[in-house]
Amino acid sequence: MEDLTGLVAVMAPFLMVFGIVWVRSRSKLEEKRLHATAESSAEKAAQYVSHVAELEDRVRVLERIVTDRGYDVATQIEALRDQRRVESSDNGVAIDNIRRERV
């Protein structure tokens, strides 16, 4: 029993030092993790803001298209389709052929 008491008396300071070092290293790691998470969250928030601004711009354009009285939407859509046909035929495949393949 006396040997056990002596062993505990000798080991206790080493265990305390080990515990203090371990707690400090864990707190530093946790601090770094929180910092990295905050940076990541800020970056994601900036990306979301950018994406929302882009979507708002697109909605404004659509609102303008719908609300302009002299604007012929059907004609504009057909013009876009014609443009896509020309672009596709430049690549060697016509959109009409692609549509037939899908059906």
**pTM, full prediction:** 0.38
Domain ranges of the chain: 1-53
pLDDT-derived band at 103 (thresholds 50, 70, 90) equals: very low
Residue corresponding to tokens 């899908």: 102
Residue in the block written with tokens 């900036």:
46
Check whether 96 has a pLDDT greater than 60: no
Integer Cα distance of 60 and 67 in angstroms: 10
Q: Summarize pLDDT for 43-76 with one digit per residue, the tens.
A: 888 899 999 999 998 888 888 877 775 567 677 7
pLDDT higher than 80, residue 97: no
- Spatial separation of the C-alpha atoms in residues 46 and 79, rounded to whole Å: 36
Dmax over CA atoms of the chain, in Å, equals 102
Model confidence pLDDT, tens digit, residues 2-50: 788 888 888 898 999 999 999 999 999 999 988 888 888 888 888 999 9
pLDDT for position 49: 92
Q: Give yes or no for a contact between 60 and 66, defined as CB atoms under 8 angstroms apart.
A: no
